Amino acid sequence: MKILAIGDIVGNCGIKKLKSELKKIITEKNIDFVIVNGENSAEGMGITEKNFNDILAEKVDVITMGNHTWGKKDIFKFINHPKLIRPANYPAGVQGKGYNIYECKNKKIAVINLIGRVDMNVLSENPFLIAKDIVEKIKNNVDMIFVDFHAEATAEKIAMGHYLDGKVTAVYGTHTHVQTADEQILEKGTGYITDIGMTGPKHSVIGMDISASIKRFETTLPERYKIAVGENIFNGVIFDVDESTNKVTKIERIRR
């Protein structure tokens, strides 16, 4: 069984790139299940109802979020949709679900979304303890568990991978928009990669206009960010899972 996780969609250009590539990848790679991070799809911050519907129209099974979950008020119209999950370690009582369970090829697949606390400027609960509680709660009711850890610090992501090793099918990072080359199967069998990258402008600073980004660093003035234009890139990873053991046997990075 093959599960495709797609890196942060940046703006409408990212959605267009998703539309141009996803169907081909599903066919070429025999993909069974698709997870997309959509928290930057509304021109870099949040997600609108149109963005949400456009992404779902591409046969996407789950959309995960992150630190820009509440970037657009539109989200409250569809926050409880079963195919949308937001970080599970937002404070108790916040609208939406932090994980959900889906069925594919007679398998029950849980997808958990978490947000990091290191350099994220979001007041969230401890992602490690929340992950532990969720896994303990659902482990006997699912076949596979995938974790989208939306975090800044590589150390925090790597620690989460080892923390959940042997307890979940895979842990992958989102948020930094830079695809890492450390895909691996950890000692106890969990698939892991620190960041799966982004889907959006290739000639950019993590999706944003280069000149505006440099000006912010050069002057320290609050130059307004804007989405870069030009060629786009599609980033993601494919987790190849043995259906008899529900363990990851191979991880393939996608960059096109």
**DSSP code string of 160-208:** HHHHHTTTSSEEEEESS----S--EE-TTS-EEES---EEEESSSBTTB
Angstrom CA distances, 146 to 27, 28, 114, 168, stand at 22, 23, 11, 7
- C-alpha angle with apex 74: 82 to 130, nearest 5 degrees? 50
Q: Within 35-102, where are the H helices?
A: 49-56
Catalytic annotation on 68? yes
232 within 8 A of 16, measured Cβ to Cβ: yes
> Hey, what amino acid is at 82?
P
**If you search the block for the tokens 């000639």, which residue do you land on?**
203
Which is catalytic among the residues 68, 150, 175, 177? Answer: 68
**DSSP code string of 214-236:** HHHHHH-S-PPP-B--S-EE-EE
| CA nearest neighbour of 199 among 28, 38, 84, 89 | 38
b/e per residue 135-167 (b: at least 16 CB within 10 A): beeeeeebbbbbbbbbbbbeebbbebbeebbeb
Angstrom CA distances, 104 to 61, 125, 178, stand at 10, 31, 29
> Hey, what amino acid is at 209?
D
Q: Which residues have a catalytic role annotated?
A: 68
